[in-house]
Amino acid sequence: MRTSAREVAVTAELNLSQVRALEVLLEEGHFGRAAQRLHVTPSAMTQSINRLERDLGVRLVNRTRHPVVATPAGQRFMHQAVRALEASRAAVEAARGVGAGLLTIGFIDGYSQAESRLLDRFHSENPDVRAEYRQLHWEDQVAALVDGAVDVSFARPPHSGVDTRLLDTRVVTVEPRVAVLAQHSALAQRESLTLDEIDELEVVTSATAPAEWTRWWVIDPRPSGQAVRYGPAVSTIHEAVASVRTAADSGSGHVLITGESVGQRASNAGVVFVPLVDAEPCRIELCTRRSDHRPAVQMLRALADAACSARAKTGRSVQRGAEPGVGVK
């Protein structure tokens, strides 16, 4: 019996795993990376997209383009399909949490004072909400949120590798950036530094974060026009600090560029943290899924907005929603 167009469409809409595979493929632009992110083999990833295209009867992606991009039909399909994915995530959240009884909160290297104050106030006003905390890798700070691994993420933009239309972002605080230097470095005794003064140093980078995020944090390109000297790639802030400290012992010079609060938490004998006066400040944002309307999540958003408003009243206003320009946290 021949299947009607209506039956084909309904069947395809119900196969959300294939729709999710297409979403990730278009975000990554590469079958191999998409497969790795979904923890499947490349052949399984290809088969999933092929089946979806066969069910719909249209070509959804242009495989000859690098990166892989959606065809016009694929763009139209995903514009509607994103809503189905959001609805499915909301249904899972409702089933798991019976409302807002549990929140999984992601973080990278601990919390700034502003984040801690926000969480303290949230818990004092919502004693019945149970929170679980999960440390994330740099590359997962918003990917884990979109994938449903966490409900809340305190993240630092730019947000790369995900469809930012799925995110609700609220600025919690803005802080200056600092240069992490070995204690015996010639520049370590300075009260402040400019970017030109660290141009000759190799900068420590992330081994896993998206390229756009890394470039913003290492500040590439530099105002001087000089090429950034990329140094060792690390996976954690503690590895980064250790790299700066041990490089001095070997006679070479490394620098780590990070946020002020990260430097305060990562204090370690053998390194110092010097303000970078001409580096663009970095933001810390409360990120949640736009489709998540649970009362606890709404309360966190309201507290973040209140913190942002308080900053504005003290003359330290921020532009909500504006991405940092485009280099490691």
- Is the pLDDT at 153 greater than 80? The verdict is yes
pLDDT tens-place string over residues 36-60:
888 778 888 898 899 899 989 999 9
Average model confidence (pLDDT) across the chain? 83
Q: 196, 308 in Cβ contact below 8 A?
A: no
Please spell the DSSP secondary structure of 44-100, one letter per residue.
HHHHHHHHHHHHHTS--EETTSSS-EE-HHHHHHHHHHHHHHHHHHHHHHHHHHTTT
How far is it, in rounded angstroms, from Cα 125 to Cα 299? 9
Q: 237, 258 in Cβ contact below 8 A?
A: yes
Place of tokens 């996976």: 235
pLDDT grade, residue 248 (50/70/90)?
A: low
Contacts of 91 (CB under 8 A, 6+ apart): none
In the chain, where the domains are located: 5-94, 99-175+282-313, 177-275
pLDDT grade, residue 175 (50/70/90)?
A: very high
pLDDT grade, residue 317 (50/70/90)?
A: very low
Decide if 99-175+282-313 and 177-275 have a common fold.
Answer: yes
How far is it, in rounded angstroms, from Cα 289 to Cα 169? 9
Please spell the DSSP secondary structure of 255-308, one letter per residue.
EEEEEHHHHHHT--TTEEEEEBTTSPPEEEEEEEETT---HHHHHHHHHHHHHH
How far is it, in rounded angstroms, from Cα 251 to Cα 273? 19
* CA distances for 175 relative to 47, 308, 311, angstroms: 46, 12, 11
Question: Residue 79, Cβ neighbours under 10 Å: how many?
Answer: 10
pLDDT tens-place string over residues 256-292:
999 998 767 766 678 899 999 999 999 999 999 998 9
User: Is beta strand 254-259 parallel, antiparallel or unpaired with respect to 177-182?
Assistant: antiparallel
Architecture of domain 5-94: Orthogonal Bundle (1.10)
Nearest to 112 by CA among 303, 263, 300, 236: 263
In sequence order, what are the beta bridge partners of 197?
Answer: none
- Give backbone dihedrals phi and psi of 81, rounded to 5 degrees, phi first: -65, -30
Contacts of 190 (CB under 8 A, 6+ apart): 197, 274
Q: 170, 290 in Cβ contact below 8 A?
A: no
pLDDT tens-place string over residues 67-84:
899 999 999 998 888 888
pLDDT grade, residue 195 (50/70/90)?
A: very high
The pLDDT score that the predictor gives to residue 9 is 45
Q: 61, 70 in Cβ contact below 8 A?
A: yes
Q: 225, 196 in Cβ contact below 8 A?
A: no
Superfamily (CATH) of domain 99-175+282-313: Periplasmic binding protein-like II (3.40.190.10)
Q: 303, 122 in Cβ contact below 8 A?
A: yes
* CA distances for 82 relative to 72, 164, 181, 184, 309, angstroms: 16, 12, 45, 53, 32
| Lowest-confidence pick of 80-94, 110-124, 265-279 | 80-94
| Lowest-confidence pick of 83-87, 162-166, 241-245, 275-279 | 83-87
Selected from 3.30.390.50, 3.40.50.300, 1.10.1040.10, 3.40.190.290, the CATH number assigned to the domain covering 177-275 reads 3.40.190.290
The pLDDT score that the predictor gives to residue 1 is 37
| Phi and psi based region of residue 99 (left: phi greater than 0; alpha: psi -120 to 50; beta: remaining) | left
